[in-house]
Amino acid sequence: MGNVKKAGLRDRRHSGNAIVETALMIPWVFFLFAGVLDFGFYSYAAISVENAARVAVLQTSRAAASLGDSQAACQAVLPELRTLPNVPGNLTSCSALPVIVAAPQVNGPDGQPSSQVSVTYQSLPMVPIPGLLTGQLNLTRTAQMRSQE
């Protein structure tokens, strides 16, 4: 009978430990989830910008006359980036942030005329992580393709 009484007393003395440990861990768990959420947004933005550059270079390399056409590249990029949170639905220009598109005509490695499209996207400010992320990123992706004519 004495052992049962001691076990009950011991449980009462240690019953507050779980609350203290939980209170100490909640900020770390919060920052972990915030970091995972931010990483997901940044990854999605990077994939979208890469796809937008690919679609734009396909559009501008179809004909020799459109190799340096930044406006055609912009019109190909905007539908690809509409799902990103920082791109307004009424955006029609690609000359200022959050979306900048440049499409110069270049000579490819084989000396043939090629189209090169560079797409820059500025993300929304997220949770800043000191030493890793400042809270806002400029993602730039470049694609190049020889003229299909």
Domain count, the chain: 1
Percent of the chain with pLDDT over 70: 87
Question: Is 3's pLDDT higher than 60?
Answer: no
Predicted pLDDT of residue 130: 74
Percent of the chain with pLDDT over 90: 65
Question: Taking all residues of the chain, what is their mean pLDDT, rounded to a whole number?
Answer: 88
Q: What is the mean pLDDT of residues 105-127?
A: 92
Predicted pLDDT of residue 45: 94
Backbone angles phi, psi at 81, to 5 degrees: -100, 0
Q: What is the mean pLDDT of residues 111-132?
A: 87
Among candidates 135, 144, 79, 85, which has minimal Cα distance to 116? Answer: 144
Q: Pick the residue with more confidence: 4 or 148?
A: 148
Predicted pLDDT of residue 128: 73
Question: Is 61's pLDDT higher than 80?
Answer: yes
Predicted pLDDT of residue 96: 95
Identify the domain containing residue 109 by its residue range.
Answer: 2-146
Q: What is the pLDDT of residues 124-142, one digit of tens each?
A: 887 776 776 677 889 999 9
Predicted pLDDT of residue 31: 85
| Contact indicator for 38, 31 with CB cutoff of 8 Å | no
| Contact indicator for 115, 81 with CB cutoff of 8 Å | no
Which tokens sit at 91? 């955006």
pTM of the model: 0.81
Question: Is 2's pLDDT higher than 60?
Answer: no
10 pLDDT band (50/70/90 cuts)?
Answer: low
How many other C-beta atoms are found inside a 10 Å radius of the C-beta of residue 52?
25
